[in-house]
Amino acid sequence: MKSVIATLALFAFATPALADEVQDFSIDPTRSANELEPYLQCVPYARQVSGIQIYGDAHTWWEQAQGRYATGNAPRPGAVMAFRPHRGMRLGHVAAVSTVLDSRRVLLDHANWSPIDGRRGQIEKDVLAVDVSQANDWSEVQVWYAPLGRVGTTVWPVDGFIYGDGRSQPRTVIARTEEPVRKQTSKRFLSAFAEFR
């Protein structure tokens, strides 16, 4: 049964349109009371809907984006809003901008923000985020929170926006300063493939 649940969880990551249905895991009577059900995290969902190919915890995305993707403090559809760790959100959060409403309001698509029907890992689409920063620079936001049925009262710090635009720059690779030592290919090895010539 664990393999079925793991397969469903992977399917949920791969197909956001069906994820709400797939995540409705049935109760497994063989599951121990201490075992947690798998749930969708914000990172794979943001990566999938934005096309931004960054991996690792959400709080690392902003730094990883530098030099690879354009970044800034103005929201754009398709951009990822990178939240800094704050209070109980130790790993940060990432959410994709679906619509820019005006200079202070956007709609977000994200996962694992609000518990819905008591379950974590839910996908929320077109939820309101409001810029509450003094400078109107999107450095602080308040976000729709489903259990309240409105924008939450917590002010969340934001690093900024990562713009995918489909143009990821490759990571810088440090070149080796010396040539690798090449060994002579053995006759025995070459003879094993002689018949394929």
DSSP-assigned beta bridge partners for residue 145: 150
pLDDT digits (tens, 9 = 90+) for 173-194: 344 444 444 445 555 545 554 5
The distance in angstroms from the start CA to the end CA of the chain is 48
Looking at the domain 40-169, which fold is it?
Answer: endopeptidase fold (from Nostoc punctiforme) (3.90.1720)
pLDDT digits (tens, 9 = 90+) for 32-86: 444 445 678 999 999 999 999 999 999 999 999 999 999 999 999 999 999 999 9
Strand 123-131 and strand 140-145: the pairing is antiparallel
Is residue 89 within 8 Å of 68, Cβ to Cβ? no
Question: Is this structure's pTM higher than 0.75?
Answer: no
Task: Kindly provide the residue ranges of all beta strands, DSSP E only, lying in 132-183, ordered along the sequence.
Answer: 140-145, 150-151, 156-163
